[in-house]
Amino acid sequence: MAVPDAPLLAVSGLGPVVGADPAWSTQEVGVYLHVPFCARRCDYCSFATWTDRSHLMARYLEAVGTELARAVDRGLPAAATVFVGGGTPSLVPATELASVLRAVPRAPDAEVTVECNPDDVTEELLDTYLEAGVTRISLGVQSMVPSVLTALGRTHGVDNVVGAVELIRSRPFASWNVDVIYGGAGETLEEWRRTVAAVVALEPPHVSAYALTVEAGTPLAADASRHPDDDDQADKYQIVTDAFAEAGLEWYEISNWARPGHRCRHNELYWRQDDYLGVGCAAHSHLGGRRWWNHRTPERYLECVRAGRSAEGGFEVLDATTRRIEGLQLALRTTEGVPVDALPAEDVATVLQGLVEPRHDRLVLTPAGRLLANDVAVRLR
């Protein structure tokens, strides 16, 4: 997932679009391209995705190209990172997605990531991505246990994961990632250990392991019997923490581990509060403390772009205090931590004991603290 998960703390502006075309500075930025199409919607997903809009694919990608061209005309600088997320980007024709990617102005060493479903990975798809400058593949694995995949609403098989990884490893991608989720209904600790062991055996340079969360309006939210248990997820987080450390994967954000030199630069851009442009329906952007987002549905997005109007559906402007606190919240999630004075010394010595630890002149979450990151974050000042 390529949008920040910090809370949106608006201080102004959810009404009519104002200043929809801010001027970009000359610094490098990130670019996020949203692909809203899926073959099947997972029960836990609340993202802007649709399973019945495949007839819009060609027009949608053309509109994304148009929106991107307009941003370039307004001075969009070379992107340090590009991330294609969704949805299922690998579901759209690879050649058409490649055409859009080629239109993104990029720094010579830009990181370019595309999310893929294991079922979609073929030699032709990967070769087309490589020719378009893709440097990194993010593979949506979620589990390596068939019954758990079914419970999560996933359609791919474990064998397809192994086959996809073999193809990815056979190509000169700079890096690749495996996404997994823990806490699904009925998933035992032993089954999670099987998934973790199978992922480690794939020898990925990067892994993202997310706790299953209940999002309003999803089938998962409607069935309380399938909601994850906090204690169970805590045990599973400890399993993944120990296993990945032993495998040489270094923790660098609550849900992310990487081998040296393989951190996801695009996500780090979010965590640093850098600027980024979101292109496509529901895509979010940020520039100098102003955040805005496009209309959520593909139809509304297409209507705006075809009419030559901004696709912006809303915005917010952060004041200095809000932006500073958000920055601390994001930094706390990472191995960089926060300045020692960001947390009251008396709290560090008492209620936060064992949850944060000093590292040089900063405070960093311990493994136990990562499980209670929100409780620590409310004490930031």
Does residue 21 have a pLDDT over 80?
A: no
pTM of the complete model: 0.92
Question: Which of 9-13, 22-26, 315-319 bottoms out in mean pLDDT, i.e. has the lowest?
Answer: 9-13
pLDDT tens digits, 24-65: 766 779 999 999 999 888 888 878 888 899 999 999 999 999
Does residue 247 have a pLDDT over 50?
A: yes
Give 250's strand partners.
Answer: 258
> What pLDDT, on the 0 to 100 scale, is given for residue 220?
82
> What pLDDT, on the 0 to 100 scale, is given for residue 9?
30
Residue 117 belongs to some domain of the structure: yes
Q: What is the CATH number of the domain that holds 195?
A: 3.80.30.20
> What pLDDT, on the 0 to 100 scale, is given for residue 157?
86
CA distances from 32 to 70, 115, 279, 326 (A): 15, 12, 6, 20
Does residue 232 have a pLDDT over 80?
A: yes
Which has more pLDDT, 249 or 156? 249
Chain mean position to CA 252: 15
Strands (E) located in the chain: 29-35, 79-86, 106-116, 136-142, 175-182, 206-211, 250-253, 256-258, 276-279, 284-287, 290-294, 312-317, 338-339, 356-359, 362-365
Residue 368 belongs to some domain of the structure: no
Residue 291 belongs to some domain of the structure: no
How does the average pLDDT of the chain come out, rounded?
92
Residue 179 belongs to some domain of the structure: yes
Does residue 273 have a pLDDT over 90?
A: yes
d(CA 82, CA 139): 16
> What pLDDT, on the 0 to 100 scale, is given for residue 12?
30
Does residue 3 have a pLDDT over 90?
A: no
Which has more pLDDT, 218 or 305? 305
d(CA 121, CA 157): 13
pLDDT tens digits, 347-363: 999 999 999 999 999 99
Residue 277 belongs to some domain of the structure: no
Provide the residue type at 99 as one letter: S
DSSP classification of residue 24: P
The pLDDT > 90 percentage for the chain reads 82
Local confidence band at 22 (pLDDT 50, 70, 90 cut-offs): low
> What pLDDT, on the 0 to 100 scale, is given for residue 13?
31
Residues in the chain: 381
Range of the domain at 37: 29-271
Average pLDDT of 202-219? 93
Longest dimension (CA), the chain: 59
CA distances from 47 to 87, 157, 272, 296, 366 (A): 7, 23, 23, 10, 30
d(CA 249, CA 203): 10
Q: Which residues contact 54 (CB under 8 A, 6 or more apart)?
A: 37, 91
Does residue 4 have a pLDDT over 50?
A: no
Q: And the tokens for 318?
A: 């952060």
pLDDT tens digits, 95-122: 999 999 999 999 999 999 999 999 999 9
The pLDDT > 70 percentage for the chain reads 93
Does residue 323 have a pLDDT over 90?
A: yes
> What pLDDT, on the 0 to 100 scale, is given for residue 10?
32
Contact 307, 59 (CB under 8 A): no
Residue 42 belongs to some domain of the structure: yes
N-to-C CA span, the chain: 28
Local confidence band at 6 (pLDDT 50, 70, 90 cut-offs): very low
> What pLDDT, on the 0 to 100 scale, is given for residue 242?
97
Parallel, antiparallel, or unpaired: how do β-strands 276-279 and 29-35 relate? parallel
Number of domains in the chain: 1
Residue 287 belongs to some domain of the structure: no
